[in-house]
A and B are shown apart, each in its own frame.
Chain A
Amino acid sequence: MKRVYLDNAATTPTASEVVEAMEPYFNENFGNPSSIYSFGREAKNTVEDAREKVAQLIGADDAAEIVFTSGGTEADNLAIKGVAMKNKEQGNHIITSAVEHHAVLHTCEYLEEYHDFEVTYLPVDENGLVNPIDVAEAITDDTILISIMLANNEVGSIQPIAEIGQIAQKNDIYFHTDAVQAVGSIPVDVNELNADLLALSGHKFNGPKGIGALYIRKGTQLTSFMHGGAQERGRRASTENVPAIVGLGKAAEIALEELDEKREKMIKLRDKLINGIKAEIDEVILNGHPTKRLPNNVNFSIRYIEGESLLLNLDLEDIAASSGSACTSGSLDPSHVLLAMGLSHEVAHGSLRLSLGKYNTEEDVDYVLEKLPAIVDKLRAMSPIYNQK
C-alpha cells in the first residue's frame, strides 16, 4: 500500500530535478571554488549561479547578500550571534517571541547565559500572533536586534512581519526573520518585509538537507562565528558544499516558478482537510490563525486523546504526521508554541499537525479523512477523561 506523507514541515523529499542537477558536482565537477584553475572556476561559477537563484526567490537586490549555511539553524545562529557580538557596544537587548523555533530561542538563551544579553520574549495571542504594538513597546535604548519568525512551524500562523520590520527600521534596530517554513510556500520579499536578515532552509522546499542560507542586507554589521578561510566573503569559513548549493539553487528556481500553482493546490488540500476533520470529528480545535496561516499547515487539538498514541495509530495506517505532545518532543512538556497560545497541557498533548507538500494529492487527503475518525474513536473509547466531560 502507498504511504501518505503529511509531515512536510519536518522535511520534504528532494525533487528528482534537484538530485539530477546536483549529481555532476560530486565527481565530474568536483573542484574547490577557491582554486584558481578551471576546476575551481567552474565550481565557483556554479555556486554564484545558485546564489543568484536564491536571491531571486526572496527578492534580494544583490546576490552578494546571500550567505550559504549548513541549514536554517545555522542561518538563525549566524544572524543572532553575529549581530549580537558585533553590536554589543551599542546595546545588549534583543526582542523575540515565545513561539520561535528553538534555533532562535536557544540561541537567545545562550546569549543571556554567556554574554550578558537581555532578551524579551514577547507573548502571542490565541492564534499565535505577535502584536506589533508589543514589539514597539519592548524597544529600549539597548535594543540592537529584533527577531520574529515569518511563519510558525507548528501552527502555521503568519506574523505581521512587514509591520514589525517597519518598526525596527524606524528605530534603527536590526531585524531578523526566521523564514524557514515560509520560503517556497508563500511569496517572500526581503524588501517588502523590511528584513535585514532572513533565514531559509533547502530541505523544507524540496531541496537537499544540510544546506540553507542567510540573507544579510548590505551594510548590516555582523561577525562570523565560523573562522577559517575567506569563503562567503569572510562571513562563513569552510569549503562550500557545492553539490548541496547547486541543489538549493535548483530548488529555489523551481519554487519560484511553481509558487502560485503550488500555493493554490496546497490551500485547496488544506481546507479540505480542515473542513473534513471538523465535519467528521467532534470536539476538535483548529490551532493557529484561521486565515493568516501557511497554505500547507493543518494543526488540530483533538480533545481527550494523546498525540503519540494518535501518531502511532496513524503510522499503522501508513500515514506520517506530527504532534506537539510531550512524548514526541523528547521532553516532559508539550509544545512551547501551543502553551504560549494559552492551550492547557491536556489539550496541547492532543495536538496533531498535518503538513502538506507539493507531491500530496487529493487521494492522500481522502485517505486521512477516512482513517482518522476511527482512530480517534478507538482512543477516546480508551480515555478516562472522555467520559468525565
Chain B
Amino acid sequence: MYSDKVMDHFQNPRNVGEIEAADGIGEVGNPTCGDIMKIYIKVNENEEIKDIKFKTFGCGAAVATSSITTEIVKGKSIEEARELTNKRVAEALDGLPPEKMHCSNLAADALQKAIDNYLGIEENNVCDDCEDMPG
C-alpha cells in the first residue's frame, strides 16, 4: 500500500523533535482528524532554514510526509521553501495511496504556517477540510 520511500521515512524519520526558541512554529490538523503535525524552524541571517524539526501524531503517511518535508527544505532559503506544496511532497515520496492524499498530506501546510509565523503573517486556517469533518 505504501511506496518504499514512504516506508523508509516512516521507519527512519528525519529531523524528529522540537527546537527550543524556534523562529517559526506551524501546526495543522486536530485530534478529530487523526493527524496533527507540528513543524519548528530556525532561520539564519541569510534567510535560510538552518534547522527544522517536526512532531507528528498520525498514520504512516503523516509521519513520512512530515519527515521528507523537513529533509527537502533544510538548508534552503525561505523563498525556495515557500514553493513547497503538499502535491510536491507526495511526489517526492513516489506517491501516496489516494485515501491519504486528503487527510494525511498536510506537512507542506505545516511548513508554510511555520514560515508565516516566522514572517509575522497572521495565521490562516489550512485545515478547513479536517474541521468540516463529520463527527
Which one of B37, B60, B135 lies within 8 Å of A345 (CB-CB)? B135
Given the complex, which residues of A lie within 8 Å of B120, measured CB to CB? none
A residues near B (Cβ < 8 Å) are 304-306, 308-309, 312, 316, 325-327, 330, 332-334, 339, 344-346, 349, 381-385, 387
Q: How far is the CB of A334 from chain B (nearest CB, A)?
A: 7
Given contacts A316-B11, A332-B133, A381-B16, contact A344 B56 (CB under 8 A): no
B38→A309 contact, CB < 8 A: no
Near A by CB (< 8 A), chain B positions 84-115 give 99-100, 103-104
B75 within 8 A of A: no
A332 and B16 form a contact (CB under 8 A): no
Top 7 closest pairs, chain A to chain B, by CB? A346-B31, A308-B59, A384-B55, A327-B59, A384-B38, A349-B34, A345-B32
B13, A332: Cβ atoms under 8 Å?
A: no
- Residues of chain B from 13 to 55 with CB closer than 8 A to chain A in the complex: 13, 16, 18, 27, 31-38, 55
B16, A345: Cβ atoms closer than 8 Å: no
Q: Once the chains bind, are A385 and B34 in contact (CB under 8 Å)? A: no
Establish whether residues A345 and B36, one from each chain, have CB atoms under 8 Å apart when the complex forms: no
Give the secondary structure class of B's interface: mixed
Contacting residues, chain B, for A327 (C-beta < 8 A): 34, 58-60, 100, 104
Chain A nearest CB: distance from B54 CB in Å? 8
Q: How far is the CB of A175 from the nearest CB of chain B, in Å? A: 30
Interface pair B135/A382, CB less than 8 Å apart:
no
Q: CA of A305 to CA of B57 in the docked complex: distance in angstroms? A: 6
Known contacts A325-B59, A327-B59: A385-B135 contact under CB 8 Å: no
A334 CB contacts on chain B under 8 angstroms: 34
Contact B99 A330 (CB under 8 A): yes
Residue of A nearest to B67 (CB): A382
Contact partners of A384 in chain B: CB under 8 A: 27, 36-38, 55-57
Question: Contacts A306-B34, A349-B31, A349-B34 hold; do A385 and B57 have CB atoms under 8 A apart?
Answer: yes
Complex: how many Å from CA A306 to CA B18? 19
Can you list 12 pairs linking A and B with CB atoms under 8 Å apart? A305-B57, A308-B59, A309-B58, A309-B59, A326-B34, A326-B103, A327-B60, A344-B31, A345-B31, A345-B34, A382-B57, A384-B55
Interchain CB contact under 8 A, B31 and A312: no
Q: Could you say which residues of chain A place their CB within 8 Å of the CB of B18?
A: 387
Q: A344 CA to B32 CA in the complex, in Å?
A: 8
- Check A383 against B135 for contact (C-beta < 8 Å): no
Decide if B36 touches A385 in the complex (CB within 8 Å). yes
Residues of the A chain whose Cβ atoms lie less than 8 Å from the Cβ of B103: 326, 332
Assembled-state Cα–Cα distance A349/B133 (Å): 15
Contact (Cβ within 8 A) B134 A312: no
Measured between beta carbons, the chain A residues less than 8 angstroms from B10 are 309, 312
Chain B CB within 10 Å, residue with most, of A332, A334, A346, A381: A332
CB distance from B64 to the nearest CB of A (A): 10
B35 (CB) vs chain A CBs: closest residue: A306
- Point out which of A306, A346, A381 has the most chain B C-beta atoms below 10 A from its C-beta: A306
By beta carbon, the residue of chain A nearest B27 is A384
Closest residue of B by beta carbon distance from A349: B34
Q: How far is the CA of A383 from the CA of B13 in the complex (A)?
A: 12
Q: Are A333 and B31 in contact (CB under 8 A)?
A: no
Residue of A nearest to B103 (CB): A332
Neighbouring B residues of A305 by C-beta, 8 Å: 57
B25 to chain A, nearest CB (A): 10
Which residues from B are CB-within-8-Å of A326?
34, 103
Most chain A CB within a 10 A radius of its CB, from B35, B60, B62: B60
A260 CB to closest chain B CB, in angstroms? Answer: 40
What distance in Å separates the Cβ of B98 from its nearest Cβ neighbour in chain A?
Answer: 11
Shortest B65–chain A CB gap in Å is 13
Residues from chain A with Cβ under 8 Å of B81 in the complex: none
Interface centre among B10, B18, B32, B33 (most CB of A within 10 A): B32
Chain A residue nearest in CB terms to B60: A312
Write out the residue numbers on chain B whose beta carbons fall within 8 Å of the beta carbon of A345. Answer: 31-32, 34, 135
B73 contacts the other chain (Cβ, under 8 Å)? no
Known: A306-B57, A309-B58, A327-B100. 13 other contacts (CB 8 A): A308-B58, A312-B60, A316-B11, A327-B59, A327-B60, A332-B34, A332-B103, A334-B34, A345-B135, A349-B34, A382-B63, A385-B36, A387-B18
Shortest Cβ distance from A102 into chain B, in angstroms?
Answer: 16
Task: Give, as a whole number of angstroms, the nearest-CB distance from B20 to chain A.
Answer: 12
A344: chain B residues at CB < 8 Å are 31
Q: Which residues of B contact A332 (CB under 8 A)?
A: 33-34, 103, 133-135
